[in-house]
Amino acid sequence: MYNLKIIIIGAGIGGLTTGIALKKAGYQVEIYDKVKELRPAGAGISLWSNGVKVLNKLGLGDKMAAIGGQMNQMQYRSYKDELLNDISLQPLIKEVGQRPYPVARTDLQQMLLEAFPGTVKLGSKCVGFEDFGDRVTAIFEDGNTATGDLLIAADGVRSTLRPYILGTEIEPRYAGYVNWNGLVKASEDLAPKNTWMIYVGEHKRASMMPVGGDRFYFFFDVPLPKGTSTPPEAIQKELANFFSGWPQVVQNLIKQINPLETNRLEIHDIGPIDTFVRGRVALLGDAAHTTTPDLGQGGCQAMEDAEVLTHYLLTTNISVEDALKRYEKERKERANAIVLKARKRADQIHGKEPEITQQWYQQLRQESPLDVTNAISKTILGGPLH
């Protein structure tokens, strides 16, 4: 279809990638976000090869390589510092045809913002929309409106527009664990600079991966009941308690973090939901399929959404509604399967059934590195760009 004007709500990874893809396809695009200043939630993200391939197609491959970390190995160690598995990522890179890139979120957001050849209107909170059949109007809290041929709701886990599309409210589901994350200066005293290091035990994780700018993105996971909180100045003490007796490297990491710049969040997911589209309005990214971070696929799925949506708008010519229905069919199957797979993995890692977590620790000791990379390749190759 030609000459479409598209309104996107949300300037996160999903909204920005979609905006870039649609502009590249020749459409008019306007992006709106409720915040006055864009600041990504979270410090880092690992973009697996399926996400990177979408960026390659948008001409951002070199820029991504410049801000991404060189992650060549993945190493699992126990909380008693026993080496469980040391996995080369080369077979994976060869199999899927693209290396993954861990990246600082601010760098990724900056790159996407610079690549979007249009304006992102900030301070614009969308509160609803009206679908007139031949066009759709987004309504903002300040009384402004924006009208286009279609509306993309890329407004995240607590999407304002989702209830209008589903006809019902859904509460994000607590995944049963808290995640702390941030950035520290990379140092060989903490981990080899080309390695994703993961310490596991007691249903918890402590991890570091290299991102651009000679930094490690770190995270800690601990299963906790819903509703706990800790002021930033007490975060190091909290982590020291949860990880007491863990290897010296983990103690050093806790000492080196900046608690005021460490995020502490309860992990949620959404779905699977059956409806991504209503008329001329489509959910995209976390608004449609919030995914626990245990496969590192949530942001990559938002990028796949961008690719598939653009593909159907460009290549089908019956109607906007028809193109969106095709997008829904393809993305529902793929993204919902990832939501469920990530949920199962989150349970396995965080001791929902302790004997299953014990089996996983055992499996990590015995598994061939190729089995690990083959499993990751399978997830990556299930995406739209092979």
Asked if 51 and 304 touch (Cβ cutoff 8 Å), the reply is yes
Binding of ligand FAD by 68 (CB under 6 A): no
CB of 303 to ligand FAD, least distance (A): 8
Binding of ligand FAD by 100 (CB under 6 A): no
Site string for ligand FAD, 19-58 (x = CB under 6 A): -------------xxxx------x--xxx---x-------
Binding of ligand FAD by 286 (CB under 6 A): yes
Binding of ligand FAD by 336 (CB under 6 A): no
CB of 117 to ligand FAD, least distance (A): 19
Asked if 103 and 7 touch (Cβ cutoff 8 Å), the reply is no
- Of the listed pieces 142-150, 292-300, 326-334, 378-386, which binds ligand FAD according to CB under 6 A? 292-300
Q: Which of 60, 136, 150, 154 binds ligand FAD (CB under 6 A)?
A: 154
Residue placing its CB nearer to ligand FAD in the complex, 25 or 122: 122
Residue 33's Cα: distance from chain center in Å? 18
Which parts of 299-328 interact with ligand FAD (CB under 6 A)? 299-300, 302
How many residues of this chain interact with ligand FAD, rule: CB under 6 A? 33
d(CA 162, CA 153) in angstroms, rounded, equals 8
CB-based burial, 179-191: b 16+ in 10 Å, e otherwise: bbbbbbebeeebb
| Residue 116 DSSP SS3 | coil
Q: Which of 7, 13, 104, 206 binds ligand FAD (CB under 6 A)?
A: 13
Q: Which DSSP state fits 203?
A: T
Tokens of 105: 């979120």
Binding of ligand FAD by 12 (CB under 6 A): yes
Cα distance from N-terminal residue to C-terminal residue, the chain: 25
Binding of ligand FAD by 296 (CB under 6 A): yes
CB of 3 to ligand FAD, least distance (A): 25
d(CA 160, CA 163) in angstroms, rounded, equals 7
Q: Which residues contact 22 (CB under 8 A, 6 or more apart)?
A: 6, 8, 29, 309, 310, 313
CB of 287 to ligand FAD, least distance (A): 6
| Residue 163 DSSP SS3 | helix
Q: Is 268 exposed, middle or buried (0-12, 13-18, 19+ CB in 10 A)?
A: middle
d(CA 134, CA 153) in angstroms, rounded, equals 18
**DSSP strand pairing (145-148 vs 136-140):** antiparallel
| Residue 71 DSSP SS3 | coil
Binding of ligand FAD by 205 (CB under 6 A): no
CB of 23 to ligand FAD, least distance (A): 16
Q: Which of 1, 4, 7, 14 binds ligand FAD (CB under 6 A)?
A: 14
CB of 43 to ligand FAD, least distance (A): 9
Site residues (CB under 6 A) for ligand FAD? 9-15, 32-35, 42, 45-47, 51, 125-126, 154-156, 160, 179, 181, 285-286, 293, 296-300, 302
